[in-house]
Chain A
């Protein structure tokens, strides 16, 4: 079984891109499955079901979605193998820009959209910088120049990635993407012992444990403060 991790900021078009790509896989007779990770709610599983693929969803609720993802990825992989899939795609939303969901040996795809602003590439951490393939969406509604500038900014923060434009509405580019994602020689059996490409955001403070009150005396653990002092010259 092939395994692909798709990640990207909310509403960047991950589900649309995956659905169009699945279409190409199915035409080649491949059995596809999707596991959708989200935070509070998703009904994308219904869309995937309609597309005729096996689907599971996981809601992280009060946990950091990234941590939830990595705690479940092995079980998800075993589910895919048990279901006899040729390719399993995991989809997860990156919510804080410090997300780091990629596993070293698993193909990593980041979906990011042209409308998010040209400074977005520099704001996103390992989710963009350590991806193998970066998909840029919504290219049909911005100018050619903006597309070029955006793609070059992405290239500056991740020069090693393949950068592609995919239209989630028409599917333009999705067939091409599908050829980069499936390799029949690859056989993932387990992820136990594998490593993340970069450590995940970490935090352990009283608010992680359910504290709701405000004030220094309620703050414990990993707490950090903004520097509010006026700066005198250079530091």
Chain B
């Protein structure tokens, strides 16, 4: 725990040396240290003691100092986290459905590298289930469900701290909105996560994304001009590799311009817990289990059977037929009877 006393007598140069992430704090809070790097923090911030300067910048010395101490404390905690503090499993304990009846399962544990699908009609309660997981429900949400993390009562830090979100989301209508190239975008994300080897991680994500995308793109492509498939590929690779959230929630993966099987393999390979809301048979059968939601509650948990898995290869063959046709069309070729291959 860092307090204002710990920092106020140090020079800015000393503080930057000690806390390499601190220049970002100065930058975001519009504190320009040019030429004043050797001043003591306390003296540097004296500029805010001037009533006019304080009013114009709308910042107050005490508040900036307290906020800085809090930021340093948080970042040190964030950097100090060990791998073994990671999330290995989440467990759902039953609550009730919309009619107040107990949900039809006893205990459901999902381990990392597992894929669980969620099925059920619109309005059946899929979003509520995901919200319960994200909030680490402790019998204190409308469904009365309880979510355990690593078999224990979840820490409330998952609820409201920005660096500790339990769930990362990938959904259908997501777009890139920043005016940046692929490289700049990944760099920005890596910096915000305080990654050490920024260059290495950018290359890793870039390679994986291109491995998933039907059509290749380059590092200087603006992210807003990526195709739908390329965008999804980049989002998935970036989330798999760079997001700190241990659980990835996917809301369908559209079957165009992206290798969905490889995408799931990547997420599983990065030891994520994958929850996927889908009604696409290929994706659903790739899951280890599927949760059936009805009337606001979990109605059933189905293990993907051997028979179903056998069907999967047949479905994938059918899917390949369509994908090949897509490629032929893209290259200006003619579709022939034999392409169907039945």
Contact = CB atoms under 8 A, between A and B. Distances in A.
Nearest to B238: A145
Interface string A1-37: 0000000000000000000000000010000000000
Interface residues of B, number: 53
A130 interface: yes
A163 B161 contact: yes
A147 B168 CA distance: 9
Interface in B133-186: 134-135, 140-142, 159-163, 165, 168-171, 173-178, 185
A108 B217 CA distance: 44
A148 B160 CA distance: 13
B47 interface: no
Which of the listed residues A143, A160, A201 has the most CB atoms from chain B within 10 Å of its own CB? A143
A interface, size bucket = 35 or more
Give the most central of A121, A133, A148, A160: most B CB within 10 Å. Answer: A148
Contacts of B142: 27, 175
B67 A129 contact: yes
B29 interface: yes
Contacts of A145: 185, 189, 235, 238-239, 242-243
B289 interface: no
Contact of B174 (A100, A143, A176): A143
- Among the interface residues B67, B134, B175, which one has the most CB atoms of the partner chain A within 10 A? B67
B212 to A, nearest CB: 15
Given A144-B238, A148-B192, A175 B141 contact: yes
A179 interface: yes
B74 A144 contact: no
Given A143-B174, A144-B168, A156 B24 contact: yes
B310 interface: no
Contacts of A78: none
Contact of A144 (B130, B140, B235): B235
B218 interface: no
B131 A175 contact: yes
Interface in A125-154: 125-126, 129-130, 133, 139-149, 151-154
B176 A158 contact: no
Contact of B160 (A27, A115, A147, A162): A162
Given A129-B63, A202-B55, A159 B70 contact: yes
Nearest to B135: A176
Interface in B59-111: 59-60, 63, 66-67, 70-71, 74
B276 to A, nearest CB: 15
A42 interface: no
Nearest to A125: B58
Contacts of A205: none
A115 B93 CA distance: 36
A170 interface: yes
A25 to B, nearest CB: 13
Contacts of A125: 58-59
B35 A234 contact: yes
A199 interface: yes
A176 B58 contact: no
B180 to A, nearest CB: 9
A114 to B, nearest CB: 8
Contact of B235 (A115, A143, A154): A143
A144 B170 contact: yes
Interface string B282-307: 00000000000000000000000000
A157 B60 CA distance: 13
Interface of A: 27, 98, 100, 114-115, 117-118, 121-122, 125-126, 129-130, 133, 139-149, 151-160, 162-164, 170, 172-173, 175-176, 179-180, 198-199, 201-202, 234
- 9 nearest A-B pairs in the assembled complex, by CB-CB distance: A125-B58, A162-B160, A159-B70, A159-B71, A151-B162, A155-B162, A156-B28, A152-B192, A145-B189
